[in-house]
Chains A and B, each alone.
Chain A
Amino acid sequence: MAVDERELVRREVEIEAAPEQVWDALVDEERREAWLEPDPERELRIETAAAPEWLVWWWWHGDEPPHRVEVVLLPVPCGTRVIVTESAPAVFPLARMAGAFALALAPA
């Protein structure tokens, strides 16, 4: 799979539940805020919701550039694989590369 250069973070988890049950925890605002860790300063706008497999939102703090968060739900034998990517098209086009550089470079 091609890696989007603007991608900052990509994390996965497997959950022992059907995609529909995971989906409810993503789109119910109260439940979502709970697992996202409540943050009254954070703005969040849903861009796309295709149940029960694909959710995209944008979030930001104050004047900071918004980041795009994409959540993909894949059915797997034990339940659901959840894949999250966070990207920042506006400002951080190659942050991942910067991170790799820094690790190669910087004194520990």
Chain B
Amino acid sequence: MIEPLDLVFGALADPTRRGVVEALLAEGSTSVPALSRQLPISRQAIAKHLSILDGAGLVERAPGDGGREVRYRLREGALRPAADWLAEADRAWDRRLRALKRSVESRPGR
């Protein structure tokens, strides 16, 4: 079974898709033509990457502004589960290392 978290991390495993996400972070929204000016790949490839990011719940189509091109934006909070997982892992290791320190330092005869 594929967890949503795995989908998010899997989608970000590709450097081109990270580039797309970075562009969205910097600019708020983007489009296939705009990305094709920034990235050295075809419009077709860009559309495919956007569809993978969409499938992972990371991007969505921005509401139409009457423009000619479809624009995409990051879905709010889409990266939060990943951030939460990491924060919990940090806390867990801090707890474990404190326990290791106590275990070693409380040992008699060291």
Interface secondary structure of B, over-half rule: helix
Number of A interface residues in the complex (CB < 8 A): 41
- Cβ–Cβ < 8 Å partners of A36 in chain B: 96, 99
- Cβ–Cβ < 8 Å partners of A84 in chain B: 93, 96-97
- Cβ–Cβ < 8 Å partners of A103 in chain B: 83
Closest to A96 in B: B86
Number of B interface residues in the complex (CB < 8 A): 38
The reply to whether A25 and B100 contact each other, CB–CB distance below 8 Å, is: yes
State whether A91 and B77 are in contact (beta carbons under 8 Å apart), knowing that A21-B110, A84-B93 are contacts in the complex: no
State whether A94 and B89 are in contact (beta carbons under 8 Å apart), knowing that A37-B96, A82-B100, A106-B83 are contacts in the complex: no
The reply to whether B100 and A101 contact each other, CB–CB distance below 8 Å, is: no
The reply to whether A101 and B13 contact each other, CB–CB distance below 8 Å, is: no
Distance between Cα atoms of A90 and B96 in the complex (Å):
24
- Cβ–Cβ < 8 Å partners of A57 in chain B: none
- Cβ–Cβ < 8 Å partners of B102 in chain A: 35
